[in-house]
Each structure stands twice: as structure tokens, then as C-alpha cells.
Amino acid sequence: MGTDQKFVWITTRKLKPGSREAFRQAWRPATFPDGMIAAYELDGVGTDEVVGISVWDSPESRERYRLSEVEAERQRLMSPYVLEATSGFYIGRELTIPGR
């Protein structure tokens, strides 16, 4: 695998109306896990949808975190505010934009 490839975990959640701020408090981890390189929170414009994107140094780091007690507790705290959730784990690379 090339060094420009990244491991990316993307989760999309549809929130109960009016619960965005309470969800945000539950969603944000107290500490960021080993192996996480970057994380993004995206709020849907005009929707109750939130997308979480995290970039990992390896599939093993992400899996350790996914199965951890810290993540289980985070999921438990978020669950009252979530109507539905989907997620996927991907291998990707940054695209070069010509002229930039």
C-alpha cells in the first residue's frame, strides 16, 4: 500500500429534532484515541444529520478503539439522541488539485 493512503471511518447519524447540542456533548470524546490522526464533525445544512469523519494510522488502531470500553460508553451516551446511524471504513488518498 502506498504511503499516501489513509484509513477513514465515516459515520452518519440522523438526530432527533432539537437534540443537536445534547448530542454534541455526548459525541465528543474526552480524549482522542491512539492512532487517530484527524477528526471532523460535519453538520448537515438545514437537516438533523451529523457526519463524523476520523482518519486513522491503521485498521488495527481503529478496531481497538471501536471495541473499547471508551467507545461503548460514548455510544451509550449518544444513543438517546440518535434516530438512525450508518458507518463505513474506507481506504482513501488525498487527490492533488492541479495548479494548487
- pLDDT value, residue 100: 81
Q: How many C-alpha atoms does 59 have within 13 Å on its Cβ side?
A: 7
Mean pLDDT over residues 41-65, rounded?
Answer: 95
Query: From the CA atom positions of the chain, what is the Rg in Å?
Result: 15
Q: pLDDT by residue (tens digit) across 8-29? A: 999 999 999 999 999 998 988 7
Task: Give the distance, in angstroms, between the CA of residue 24 and the centroid of all CA atoms in the same chain.
Answer: 12
- In this structure, the strands spanning 82-93 and 36-43 are unpaired
Residue 35 CA to residue 92 CA, distance in Å, equals 16
Q: Pick the more confident residue, 2 or 54.
A: 54
Mean pLDDT over residues 29-43, rounded?
Answer: 90
pTM of the model as a whole: 0.88
Alpha helix (H) residue ranges in the chain = 20-27, 59-66, 69-78
What is 9-92's CATH number, 3.40.50.620, 3.90.380.10, 3.30.70.100, 2.60.40.10?
3.30.70.100
- For the chain, the average pLDDT equals 92
| Residue 5 pLDDT level (bands cut at 50, 70, 90) | confident
Domain regions of the chain by residue span: 9-92
- pLDDT value, residue 29: 75
Q: Does residue 31 register a pLDDT over 70?
A: yes
Residue 65 CA to residue 71 CA, distance in Å, equals 6
